[in-house]
Amino acid sequence: MRIHENLTLEMGNINFIEIRKITMVNLLNMLFGCFSEGLPGRQVVDNTKETCPDVIEKTGNGRYVSDINALKAKYGDRFMTGLCIETTLQVMLGVCPRERKRSDAYKGLVGYLKRNYGINLIIRSQKIKKSMKKKVFLVGKVREIEPDTIMNIQQEIQNELDSVTNERRVVFSVANPKENEFEFIFERTSLQDLVKKDKINSADADTITGTGLNGFMMPEPYPSVPFGSYFNTFIDTDCFIDSYKESARKLGASHMKTACVEITPQYAKLKLAY
């Protein structure tokens, strides 16, 4: 039985790693839409001269022009939809000066970036504990993540996901809402229903874990898509989380207190607390 160009299934000679790789690529290509024209539901514009009254800071209407230019100069090609800028107040004061040297002085800029560029700006205290550094199992391997390295990890994973389909079908971002908590968001679109109660779509599961990416297989795999089927299939959420946590442990990831997923039509989110 021929399943993919030069890959043939023969009795006693089944390349399951190659099958999983093909399954992942097919699932992403068939279920997820392409983000080449920007994220749906977001207003992504590059005209910083047009400002919105509800996000203007007290310092004046022209404030965001210099702020955006300064951020573009600092982050270069990374300054695009899906970026999460996690930095300290001291760094922000150097890039985008304020008279009031407090993080709330950037409240308007935070809203403006989110609304017009789809960019998250998170400004944190100077005091970052060493305990914030965690080893996290994500998209095919264990990665060391801390507030200072979030943007680098985000770009690294985005590049890996783009390489699977040679175009952007998933937009990846990281959030650090509380100390010792991380959220990993995989935004995608689909004409199919990707949400079922207490279940996770196989394509979302493969994307989060990186199953099939560069031949990666989880030490404790969850049930795979039926052989030869690339349709819209689902896995019990509890089964997925159990497989994820056990695989993370075997791969040497940091011990987590809790792990859960949040699935919506717009994104799949993995939440980890340590």
Residue by residue, pLDDT tens for the chain (274 residues) are 333 333 233 333 334 344 455 456 565 666 676 665 444 443 333 333 333 333 334 445 467 889 999 998 888 888 887 788 888 888 888 899 888 888 888 888 988 888 888 898 888 766 545 557 899 999 999 999 987 788 889 999 999 998 887 788 899 999 888 888 999 999 998 888 889 999 999 989 999 999 988 889 999 999 866 554 556 789 999 999 999 999 999 999 999 999 999 999 999 999 999 9
Residue 90: the pLDDT is 82
5 within domain boundaries: no
pLDDT of residue 18: 46
Tell me if 231 is assigned to some domain: yes
- Asked whether residue 139 falls in the same domain as residue 269, the answer is yes
11 in any annotated domain: no
Domain residues for the domain of 204 are: 133-273
My answer on whether 101 and 146 are in the same domain is no
Shared domain for 108 and 144, answered yes or no, is no
Backbone torsion region of residue 228, taken as left when φ is above 0, otherwise alpha when ψ lies between -120 and 50, otherwise beta: left
Written as six digits, the tokens of 134 are 């965690």
CA distances (Å), 60 to each of 63, 66, 157, in order?
6, 11, 38
Query: Same domain, yes or no, for 259 and 226?
Result: yes
The pair of three-digit structure tokens given for residue 213, joined into one six-digit string: 């990416």
Could you tell me if 164 and 142 lie in one domain?
yes
User: What count of Cα atoms within 13 Å lies in the side-chain half-sphere of residue 86?
Assistant: 20
117 lies in the same domain as 151? no
Sign of CA dihedral 14, 16, 18, 23: positive
Residue with tokens 């006693």: 12
Question: Does one domain contain both 226 and 148?
Answer: yes
pLDDT score for 16: 39
Report yes or no: 189 and 40 within 8 Å, Cβ to Cβ.
yes
Does residue 155 share a domain with residue 100?
no
Domain end call among 95, 124, 153: 124
Residue where a domain terminates, one of 88, 106, 124: 124
What's the pLDDT score for residue 62? 64
Q: Does residue 251 sit in the same domain as residue 208?
A: yes
- Most distant CA atoms of the chain, gap in Å: 73
Same domain flag for 119 and 161: no
Q: What is the pLDDT of residue 26?
A: 62
Residue 168 sits in the same domain as residue 259: yes
Answer yes or no: is 26 within a domain: no
pLDDT (0 to 100) of residue 103: 82
**Count of domains for the chain:** 2
Q: Is 188 a member of any domain?
A: yes
In a domain, 178, yes or no: yes
Are residues 118 and 228 part of one domain? no
Q: Determine the Cα–Cα distance for residues 195 and 192; give it in Å rounded to an integer.
A: 9
User: Which residue among 124, 143, 172 closes a domain?
Assistant: 124
Q: Is the residue at 77 inside a domain?
A: yes
Tell me if 191 is assigned to some domain: yes
Three-state secondary structure readout of the chain: CEEECCEECECCECCHHHHHHHHHHHHHHHHCCCCCCCCCCCCCCCCCCCCCHHHCCCCCCCHHHHHHHHHHHHHHHHCCCCCEEEEEHHHHHHHCCCCCCCHHHHHHHHHHHHHHHCCEEEEECCCCCHHHCEEEEECCEEEEECHHHHHHHHHHHHHHHHHHHCCCCCEEEEECCCCCEEEEEEECCCCCCCCCCCEEEHHHHHHHHCCCHHHCCCCCCCCCCCCCCCCCCEEEHHHHHHHHHHHHHHHCCCCCCEEEEEECCCEEEEEEEC
* Cross-strand partners of 261: 270
